[in-house]
């Protein structure tokens, strides 16, 4: 066991029962020409967390712990993409349209894949998810049960959408959730801060927050 001076109070980490979940660090969200940019966002904010996220992944790898990567993407025939999701907003390219990195958010296309700096190594789990939450319509719950995981460390994008949604799903399933604050980002700085505040409020109502260095120090 290791104690992390987290927000809003100490988090007691049990490495043997902990996994890292890296949410949607995909080219479509992080690189120019992808889904994030078609929605009018400045993707450079998300690019900036790649080095810290790589350090966090490295610390889990060195400790021999489970690393799980997720990708928000859809089947090529869009059968798992509700029309309400595809038609939302006024992006220049919609989910399934052809962009510079292939069809936007479609499984198997270059844009839907994870950025090269954070690419999964053999043995790591990659979960394709059609929703914002990583438990919805995926095998994540069963995988965590099989591995007897009880604590989840979260990184990835975007803080207030897929990261927070997955943390809330995990919290409702009884997992203790810790967010790595410098390994998560939003296109909107105020939304990132608000999400962290909402997660940690009321005595960690959804979970805890700590820095990559604090987490890495507890693991290595
Ligand atoms: C979004 C995500 N923001 N991964 N996806 O559409 O947060």
Partnered with residue 128 across adjacent β-strands are: 71
Ligand 1 touching residue 161 (CB < 6 A): yes
Closest ligand 1 atom to 158 CA: 7
Convert the pLDDT of each residue in 120-162 to its tens digit: 999 999 999 999 999 999 999 999 999 999 999 999 999 999 9
Tokens for 15? 């490495």
Q: Which residues are the active-site residues?
A: 24, 129, 162
Instruction: Give the closest residue (by CA) to ligand 1 atom 5.
Output: 162
Tokens for 75? 């089947």
Buried b (16+ CB within 10 A) or exposed e, 56-74: bbebbeeeebbbbbbbbbb
pLDDT at residue 193 above 90?
Answer: yes
Mean pLDDT across 20-48? 97
Cα 3 from Cα 83, distance rounded (Å)? 45
Higher pLDDT, 90 or 53: 53
Banded pLDDT at 118 (limits 50, 70, 90): very high
Tokens for 173? 């399933």
pLDDT of residue 91: 85
Residue 168 alpha carbon to ligand 1 centre in Å: 15
Other CB atoms within a 10 A radius of the CB of residue 105 amount to 30
Mean pLDDT across 211-220? 97
Cis geometry, peptide bond prior to residue 8 (ω within 30 degrees of 0): yes
Partnered with residue 155 across adjacent β-strands are: 22
pLDDT of residue 13: 98
Ligand 1 touching residue 158 (CB < 6 A): yes
Pocket test for ligand 1, best of 40, 94, 161, 192 (most atoms within 8 A of CB): 161
Closest ligand 1 atom to 161 CA: 7
Pocket test for ligand 1, best of 41, 71, 72 (most atoms within 8 A of CB): 72
pTM reported for the whole predicted model = 0.98
Tokens for 121? 């190594």
pLDDT cut 90: percent of the chain above it? 97
């Amino acid at each position: 066991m290791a104690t992390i001076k987290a927000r809003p109070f100490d988090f007691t980490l049990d490495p043997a029962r902990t996994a890292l979940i890296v949410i949607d660090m995909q080219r479509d969200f992080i690189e120019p020409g992808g889904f994030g940019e078609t929605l009018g966002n400045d993707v450079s904010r998300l690019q900036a967390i790649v080095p810290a996220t790589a350090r966090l992944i490295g610390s889990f790898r060195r400790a021999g712990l489970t690393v799980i990567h997720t990708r928000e993407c859809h089947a090529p025939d869009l059968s798992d993409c509700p029309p309400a999701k595809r038609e939302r907003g006024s992006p220049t390219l919609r989910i399934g349209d052809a962009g510079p990195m292939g069809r936007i958010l479609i499984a198997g296309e270059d844009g839907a894949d994870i950025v090269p700096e954070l690419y999964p190594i053999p043995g790591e789990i990659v979960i394709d998810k059609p929703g914002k939450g990583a438990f919805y319509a995926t095998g994540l719950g069963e995988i965590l049960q099989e591995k007897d995981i009880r604590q989840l460390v979260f990184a990835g994008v975007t803080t207030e959408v897929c990261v927070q949604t997955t943390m809330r799903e995990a919290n409702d399933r009884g997992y203790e959730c810790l967010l790595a604050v410098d390994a998560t980002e939003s296109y909107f700085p105020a939304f990132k801060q608000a999400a962290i505040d909402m997660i940690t409020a009321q005595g960690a109502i959804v979970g805890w927050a700590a820095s990559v260095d604090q987490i890495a120090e507890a693991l290595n």
